[in-house]
Structure 1
Amino acid sequence: MKQDSSKFFVMMLLLAITLMAACSSDSTTDSTNENGNKEGQAGGDLQIGVVSDPVSLDPHGANETVANTINATIYDRLVYMNQDSMIQPGLAESLEQIEDTVWEAKIREGVTFHDGEILNAEVVKLSLDRVRDPEVAAPVAFLFGMVTDVRVVDEYTVHIETEFPFAPLPAHLAHTAGSILSPKLIEQSYEDLANGENPFAAANENPAGTGYFKFESQQPGNSVTLSKNEEYWDEAAKVDTVTFKVIPESLTRIAELETGDIDINFTVDPSDVTRLNSGAETEIVQVNSTRMVYLGFNTEKEPFDDVNVRRALHMAVDKDALVQGILDGVGIPANTPIAPGVFGYSEGIDAIEYDVEQAKELLAEAGFENGFDVTLLTDDNRERQDLAVALQAQLAEIGVNVTIDTYEFGTYIERAGAGQMEIFLGSWGTVTLDADYGLYAVFHSANIGPPGNRSRIVNPELDELLDAARKEGDAETRIDLYAQAQNKLYEESPYAYLYFPDNISGIRSDVEGFWQYPSGYFYLRDVQLNR
């Protein structure tokens, strides 16, 4: 087994400090094999099995793992996170906080987009203005809600101004939402918007960034193919092409990995780890994650507008049994929405304990002494299917009869975002390693729907705590505010937090240089095929 042993949880305040030091000098990612294996050969065609089509090839139009993984190779950001989760220079040669509410980015010169357009400060402003534009309605706009202005200082300098001091801003800029698009795409996007069309259609059909791979073709339901950007401004990709093959069935992905039809299987169910580890030509890459898997409640629909009903169902869930039965022990139970080690995590948070009898009492108090019937929304991922069945059995113990409603991933995401469910399974990764992303996006009333608040919870006190925490400059005070917010969530229970699973991918033994972020998606520039 390849186990990523690098430290990946870094406090975001330290990330910002590190950025100001690290970004003052030129830096590139070391392509040396981290696992001590023989170096692979340049060239070749990399085949990756994924569970679904990307929601969008416009990085401002999607926020799910398949899209983020693909878009991170087509587009660059001002900065990015390396394998140690440290902020590194990207399209910005430096990013420095020159005032409490002003960050200065020095843009690289001589960088060209895949369509021939030239990178400069005006182009950076176009992208950062567009992702924040209410008319565009990007589902990732919440990441930059604190930004008040992006000002061009000169041809290769921009100032990013924020409403309040915001230490995690570099990590937000490193998210794929901070991707810089070709100005031609942005111009077409606004033309489409003016004509009443989808503003993300242009980039979805012919994406153009500055990334180490460039778009070749997409066959919906089948594949997305990219080719090496021979004119990349930094160290070039090692393989000639990469094809993301849509293979919804997890066992089919496993079989294709074993036969060599794909080189990387993203993702692997925990029950298949032993099989791949024992294979002659397959291995596992595993890393702890920041991704919380949860049972969500639509607080706008009866009876889940009653906090006692939500708490009762939460109380009826045996999380330890789920970790052992669903994950084969490859993960930890979740008693808070924030993973251990993420900035804002606290051990002293109030937690709802497993107690079937108390759950029955709460249901009786709510007027459901004999339980009720409910439909659970989920997607067709095998782990989610197994989890749905396990929860169906656990909730039956308190008289809640669950019908499982399964959709392919794209439809599931649409229904969950639109509130077309009673209860649902989901997951959220704190990709910035700061609690602002794991809490503000998911539980603030400003983000109801596709941006992240799919429970549709509205609590003014919670909103105030989350607003105060993102505006606070003192790290200890922020941690205390996030602790208060998580205790408020304990009272409201919009989600039953279930577990933090490890991120697991399967690879062919001749694949080198592959690694994953704690959030789930992975870095492909340095992948080589040792053939």
Structure 2
Amino acid sequence: MANLKRYVAGFAGATVLLAGCSSDPGAVEEGSDGSTSTGSAGGDQFVLALSSDIVSLDPQETTDVPSSQVSTNIYENLLEHDNNMELQPVLAESYEMVDDLTWEFQIREGVTFHDGEELNADAVVKNFERLLDPDNAKPRANMFELVEEITAIDEYTVEFTTSEPFAPLDAHLAHSAAAIISPAAIDADENGDALLSVNAAGTGSFELDEWVQGNEIRLSKNENYWGEEAQVSQVTMRVVPEQSTRIGMLDQGEVHFIDQVESANSGIVDDMQNASLLTQEQLGFEYIGFNTDVEPFDDPDVRRAIAMAIDSEVLLEGLYGGFGSVATGPLSEYTFGYSEDTQGIEYDPEGAKELLAEAGYEDGFSASILTNDANPTRIHIAEVAQDYLQEVGVDLSIEMMEWGAFLDATDQGNTEMFVLGWSTVTADADYALHPNFYSGNHGSQGNSTFYDNEEVDALLTEARSESDNDARADLYAQAEQIIIEEAPMIFTVHNDYITGIADSVEGFNHLATGIYDLSEVSINEEEAGY
């Protein structure tokens, strides 16, 4: 597509300007508490420049990756994924599946929350009662809908009973929504004394110092951590929406880490004297979603036609610089349930025109596409989609919103088309498919396209209770193929995370889930070089 060249050229032009976009590394900055500090990052604190602020500190309320990146370093789960995406016991010392309906967890002794409360079986039960209470309407409660009862057998033993066999339960327990919160903090939240949306009390290696909304989040080392203590005393996450500013800050040593580096700027970061490019394959997918409740996107033929009009190969090479792979469907090869036999929708602009004509849109139509204003790549995806669709007679206007407002709009169905992504943080097909495509999860629970298909619902429900992994994978493959053919989303790419990190940083773990594990981060001053 010829018009894509103007975006690639635009990216290259942006990189030329970056050398002049850095600020003085020795500049004095005023903190939110009126204190001052030098602009240079170093010593005993780890400083990140992130493109988006978090939405909430309550792990049971959030559905966005930025919020999970913070809460994961404050809170811990019974089980968590390691760097190889293998499940490991954390707040549970051990666990076993007693029978098809019963799971038993031995809770780690000697662990205290940041507020001094003790971790025990009752604390775990209280967390899951809060998560699963229908009156609370937690957005990720659907992940545990087959859990019938959680019981404290003794002071440090918890039993989960399910209504049916529930194969992905252990993987789901590693999700940030299943993080364990101090029971006293839960009481304070329920009483309105200290809301968990802006306060936090977990067991993690870092605890919350302050969240200055729209500006920064500060964490400090948990001096009473039950395991190996963090290597740095403080973590500061600065909200810096402008990519050029983030890159300049990394180059000048004001921060140790930056997120969301566009592929066209990857060379600049990798060529820095004291910093390097850091990439990570991910478990999720990028997509263009349709609101299937509104015309003309309530017609699968229209959705398929739009999908046929956009070349994901060009998106991958032109916008992502080849960092990743083209998405056939929502499941990547690193996710349980992935099938090599799945057939995607091929790029076919002439076929798209024919299908639109058959659907009654021979003369095209007008629509809008929504994206968040702090993600340049997604903005460019909207722009490229606009050009592609113009070629098949669809006039697409682009609207941009702040991240929180954007999520509200998609959750509430105030969209026609939108650009978004999904991180399959459990590495299991259930979490890629059930939240996004099960009809009972419309809106904030994940199904932002408001897709509804009874056959898909039945397959996903059966897969959840199937204990045989081969049979379960086959059910997911069937469901995924139907979803692809009905096209509630255009599955574009499984993109790599592209970030930048100072050479002085050691022990930084960027998981395939998108989460930053900061528990082992340290700063080697000899490598700083600033």
TM-score, length basis structure 1: 0.89
Please tell me the residue identity of whatever aligns with 1:260. G
Taking the aligned partners of 2:499 and 2:515, their CA distance within structure 1 comes to 10
Taking the aligned partners of 2:144 and 2:264, their CA distance within structure 1 comes to 39
Alignment check: 8 A CA contact 1:80 1:88 kept: yes
1:278-317 superposed matches below 5 A: 278-317=271-310
| 2:444 is equivalent to residue 450 of structure 1 | yes
In the alignment, what sits opposite 1:126? 126
Alignment check: 8 A CA contact 1:43 1:238 kept: no
In the alignment, what sits opposite 2:493? 499
CA deviation after TM superposition for structure 1 residue 188, in Å: 2.4
Alignment check: 8 A CA contact 1:57 1:204 kept: yes
Taking the aligned partners of 1:355 and 1:271, their CA distance within structure 2 comes to 27
Alignment check: 8 A CA contact 1:226 1:242 kept: yes
Alignment check: 8 A CA contact 2:50 2:258 kept: yes
| 2:247 is equivalent to residue 234 of structure 1 | no
In the alignment, what sits opposite 2:53? 53
Please tell me the residue identity of whatever aligns with 1:484. Q
SS of aligned partner of 1:450: helix
In the alignment, what sits opposite 1:323? 316
Taking the aligned partners of 2:380 and 2:429, their CA distance within structure 1 comes to 29
Which runs of at least 4 in structure 1 moved beyond 3 Å after TM superposition?
none
Structure 1 unaligned residues grouped into runs of 5+ = 1-41, 193-198
CA deviation after TM superposition for structure 1 residue 191, in Å: 2.8
Alignment check: 8 A CA contact 1:309 1:366 kept: yes
Taking the aligned partners of 1:482 and 1:285, their CA distance within structure 2 comes to 32
TM-score, length basis structure 2: 0.89
Q: 2:381 aligns with which of 353, 377, 387?
A: 387
Taking the aligned partners of 2:166 and 2:498, their CA distance within structure 1 comes to 32
Structure 2 unaligned residues grouped into runs of 5+ = 1-41, 526-530
Please tell me the residue identity of whatever aligns with 1:269. E
| 2:259 is equivalent to residue 269 of structure 1 | no
Alignment check: 8 A CA contact 2:345 2:485 kept: no
Alignment check: 8 A CA contact 2:50 2:239 kept: yes
Taking the aligned partners of 2:514 and 2:203, their CA distance within structure 1 comes to 23
SS of aligned partner of 2:236: strand
In the alignment, what sits opposite 1:202? 195
| 2:218 is equivalent to residue 225 of structure 1 | yes
Alignment check: 8 A CA contact 2:72 2:515 kept: no
Taking the aligned partners of 2:144 and 2:162, their CA distance within structure 1 comes to 9
SS of aligned partner of 2:491: strand
Taking the aligned partners of 1:449 and 1:135, their CA distance within structure 2 comes to 17
In the alignment, what sits opposite 1:333? 326
SS of aligned partner of 1:361: helix
In the alignment, what sits opposite 1:484? 478
| Residue range with higher mean Cα deviation, 297-306 or 479-488 | 479-488
Q: 2:517 aligns with which of 511, 523, 529?
A: 523
1:76-475 superposed matches below 5 A: 76-192=76-192, 202-380=195-373, 381-475=375-469
Taking the aligned partners of 1:377 and 1:213, their CA distance within structure 2 comes to 36
CA deviation after TM superposition for structure 1 residue 204, in Å: 2.2
Please tell me the residue identity of whatever aligns with 1:449. G
Alignment check: 8 A CA contact 1:297 1:304 kept: yes
| Residue range with higher mean Cα deviation, 436-445 or 343-352 | 343-352
Residue by residue over 1:333-361, the C-alpha shift from the partner in whole angstroms, topping out at 9 and shown as x without a partner, is: 11111001311111111321110111001
Residue by residue over 1:92-114, the C-alpha shift from the partner in whole angstroms, topping out at 9 and shown as x without a partner, is: 11111111111111111111111
In the alignment, what sits opposite 1:511? 505
Alignment check: 8 A CA contact 1:297 1:424 kept: yes
Taking the aligned partners of 2:165 and 2:261, their CA distance within structure 1 comes to 40
Residue by residue over 1:296-317, the C-alpha shift from the partner in whole angstroms, topping out at 9 and shown as x without a partner, is: 0000001101111101000101
SS of aligned partner of 1:226: strand
Alignment check: 8 A CA contact 2:370 2:398 kept: yes
Alignment check: 8 A CA contact 1:216 1:226 kept: yes
Taking the aligned partners of 1:109 and 1:515, their CA distance within structure 2 comes to 26
Taking the aligned partners of 1:138 and 1:51, their CA distance within structure 2 comes to 26
Residue by residue over 1:273-321, the C-alpha shift from the partner in whole angstroms, topping out at 9 and shown as x without a partner, is: 1111111111122121112101100000011011111010001010111
SS of aligned partner of 2:443: coil
Taking the aligned partners of 1:265 and 1:93, their CA distance within structure 2 comes to 34
Taking the aligned partners of 2:463 and 2:70, their CA distance within structure 1 comes to 32
Alignment check: 8 A CA contact 1:43 1:240 kept: no
| Residue range with higher mean Cα deviation, 315-324 or 285-294 | 285-294
CA deviation after TM superposition for structure 1 residue 127, in Å: 0.5
SS of aligned partner of 1:453: coil
In the alignment, what sits opposite 2:75? 75
Taking the aligned partners of 1:68 and 1:419, their CA distance within structure 2 comes to 23
Taking the aligned partners of 1:288 and 1:175, their CA distance within structure 2 comes to 19
CA deviation after TM superposition for structure 1 residue 226, in Å: 0.6
RMSD of aligned C-alpha atoms? 1.3
CA deviation after TM superposition for structure 1 residue 205, in Å: 2.5
Alignment check: 8 A CA contact 1:285 1:515 kept: no
CA deviation after TM superposition for structure 1 residue 490, in Å: 2.5
Residue by residue over 1:97-135, the C-alpha shift from the partner in whole angstroms, topping out at 9 and shown as x without a partner, is: 111111111111111111111111000000011111111
CA deviation after TM superposition for structure 1 residue 43, in Å: 6.3
Residue by residue over 1:247-295, the C-alpha shift from the partner in whole angstroms, topping out at 9 and shown as x without a partner, is: 1111211111111111111232222211111111111221211121011
Taking the aligned partners of 1:417 and 1:251, their CA distance within structure 2 comes to 30
Residue by residue over 1:322-342, the C-alpha shift from the partner in whole angstroms, topping out at 9 and shown as x without a partner, is: 001100111111111100131
Residue by residue over 1:456-497, the C-alpha shift from the partner in whole angstroms, topping out at 9 and shown as x without a partner, is: 011111100110111111111111111110121123110010
Taking the aligned partners of 1:225 and 1:341, their CA distance within structure 2 comes to 33
Please tell me the residue identity of whatever aligns with 1:97. M
Taking the aligned partners of 2:91 and 2:170, their CA distance within structure 1 comes to 13
Taking the aligned partners of 1:246 and 1:260, their CA distance within structure 2 comes to 16
Taking the aligned partners of 1:77 and 1:373, their CA distance within structure 2 comes to 46
Alignment check: 8 A CA contact 2:305 2:355 kept: yes
Corresponding pairs, count: 483
Alignment check: 8 A CA contact 1:122 1:155 kept: yes
Please tell me the residue identity of whatever aligns with 1:186. I
Taking the aligned partners of 2:386 and 2:245, their CA distance within structure 1 comes to 26
SS of aligned partner of 1:205: coil
